[in-house]
Amino acid sequence: MDKMEHITTVERGREGFALIITLSVLSVAIALTIVLLSYFTKVKEDAETTKALIQADIYYADILSQLKNFKDTKSIFKRLYRFPVSLRTPDGRFNLTLRCRPLAAGINVNWLAMEHVKGKQQHFQEAQILFEMLAQEYDLEDADRLLEMILEEIGLGKKYVQESQSRLIQKHGIISYQQFSEIIKRYEMEVDDLKVSRVPWRKYFSFSNHADKIDAEYSSAELISYLFDIDVKTVREWLSSLEKSSLPVFVNANGGNYNEKKNLLAGGTFLEESQCSVGYGAGYRFTFDYIRGEAKYFEFHGKH
């Protein structure tokens, strides 16, 4: 009897041991399967991204070719500023949307470094007053430090900008909002000032070392309100009007003085300074600047 119980116990022990081994093997197999699946997904995503990047290069070259074929670039870009161009095949396998906006729709942030540049005093003063207004309105902790960081990024600190060196500002400078936003992030971490991220910088400033004028026709309601001291609500109503008057007429009719800022404004001149964004496929996007007939600063943004 004892012998039978011993045999039964041994057999149950072997079965339990075998079950543990089986479960262990299954666990390893499942873990490997998960790893392989995740690896396969990553490889697939990388392949899709590579394919999208190749497509971006092709679309970019084709768009530039088409733009150069247009003799009247002013008309095509003024249309693109207001309405994006979308292309889509009936079966949905191809889709592309081109959007463009003027690079100089705001006060150029690089003007902050023009204090000692001959003939640019009004530019500097306009940028400086705007910066101080925003710093005060949003109660920034250390506006002087932020300004110092901006000037350093432009390439020349404020105290080092001399008339003889003014040409260097054109070679350096802040050339994109992405570059400017990195300054904001560094300042936020250094000073521990979360309020800086709440400032709507893009509504007031432009970020191009080329822009010497403000394309105010396409400026935000907030900037137009600031420039001409007109209630922002009134500006928004004018911007949304289907049959709105010209900017000079609107400004002068609402108590502003258009001529006071005339030297800073593009007026009817087409500046030929645009930033374009192309969306295509399953959420992919790339951007580039189109400045006086030349494309610059191509950037692939991947999937969004």
**CA separation, residue 135 to residues 23, 125, 180, 188, 199 (Å):** 64, 15, 16, 13, 8
Do the domain assignments include residue 254?
no
Question: Do 25 and 2 share a structural domain?
Answer: yes
How many domains are contained in the chain? 2
Q: d(Cα 103, Cα 209) in Å, to the nearest integer?
A: 10
Of residues 43 and 224, more confidence is placed in: 224
Asked which of 163, 197, 212 is the last residue of a domain, the reply is 212
Q: What is the pLDDT of residues 243-257, one digit of tens each?
A: 889 999 999 999 999
Q: What is the pLDDT of residues 110-136, one digit of tens each?
A: 999 998 888 899 999 999 999 999 999
Whole-prediction pTM value? 0.74
Instruction: Give the position of tokens 């900037």.
Output: 223
Do the domain assignments include residue 9?
yes
**The pLDDT of residue 149:** 94
Mean pLDDT of 145-159: 80
Residue 1 pLDDT exceeds 90:
no
Cα of 284 vs its chain's centroid, Å: 15
Question: Do 208 and 110 share a structural domain?
Answer: yes
Asked which of 212, 237, 259 is the last residue of a domain, the reply is 212
Across 14-40, b (16+ Cβ under 10 Å) vs e yields eeeeeeeeeeeeeeeeeeeeeeeeeee
Domain of residue 67: give its range.
Answer: 1-103+271-304
Q: What is the pLDDT of residues 182-214, one digit of tens each?
A: 999 999 999 999 999 999 999 999 998 778 899
- The radius of gyration of the chain's CA atoms, rounded to the nearest angstrom, is 30
Do the domain assignments include residue 200?
yes
Do the domain assignments include residue 239?
no
Asked which of 212, 228, 262 is the last residue of a domain, the reply is 212
